[in-house]
């Protein structure tokens, strides 16, 4: 869990009935990479969108596989506005006019077909 007051990841060393949340580390990194998603580039087109926050939330709330004894969901941020969104790099021979808003909506045009080397790198930063 991310403690907004302390600006750190925290873990419960208490119980469910009597929680005791402590910061894991004051120096913990405050960003993470977006889980992998598919972007259809089989046809070119303009004004396409992806709701990155909802895609992240869906993957974390319903993982396909987990280890024995693991909880059924991965903790995730409840609101799109809890995060900053960045596209740090992308294949500009495939995508163009790439933008992202404060709610995690990615907008882009597909100008070419992806290859085995095509990519989009997306980072979420905890506010």
- Note the pLDDT tens digit of each residue in 117-127: 999 999 999 98
pLDDT at 21: 80
Adjacency order of strands within the sheet including 2-3:
2-3, 8-12, 21-23
Report whether 77 contacts 1 (CB < 8 A): no
- Note the pLDDT tens digit of each residue in 81-114: 999 999 999 999 999 999 999 999 999 999 999 9
- Note the pLDDT tens digit of each residue in 47-91: 999 999 999 999 999 999 999 999 888 888 999 999 999 999 999
Report whether 109 contacts 48 (CB < 8 A): yes
Q: How far apart are CA 48 and CA 95, in angstroms?
A: 10
pLDDT at 36: 95
Report whether 81 contacts 65 (CB < 8 A): no
Strand partners, 31: 125
Report whether 77 contacts 59 (CB < 8 A): no
């Amino acid at each position: 869990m991310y403690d907004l007051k302390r600006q750190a990841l925290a873990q419960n060393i208490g119980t469910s009935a009597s929680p005791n949340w402590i910061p894991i580390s004051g120096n913990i990194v405050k960003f993470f990479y977006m889980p992998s998603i598919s972007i259809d580039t089989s046809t070119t087109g303009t004004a396409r969108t992806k709701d990155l926050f909802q895609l992240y939330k869906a993957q974390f709330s319903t993982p396909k596989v987990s280890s024995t004894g693991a909880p059924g969901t991965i903790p995730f941020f409840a609101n799109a506005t809890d995060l900053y969104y960045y596209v740090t790099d992308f294949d500009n021979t495939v995508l163009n006019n790439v933008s992202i808003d404060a709610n995690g909506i990615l907008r882009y045009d597909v100008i070419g077909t992806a290859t085995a080397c095509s990519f989009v790198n997306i980072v979420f930063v905890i506010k």
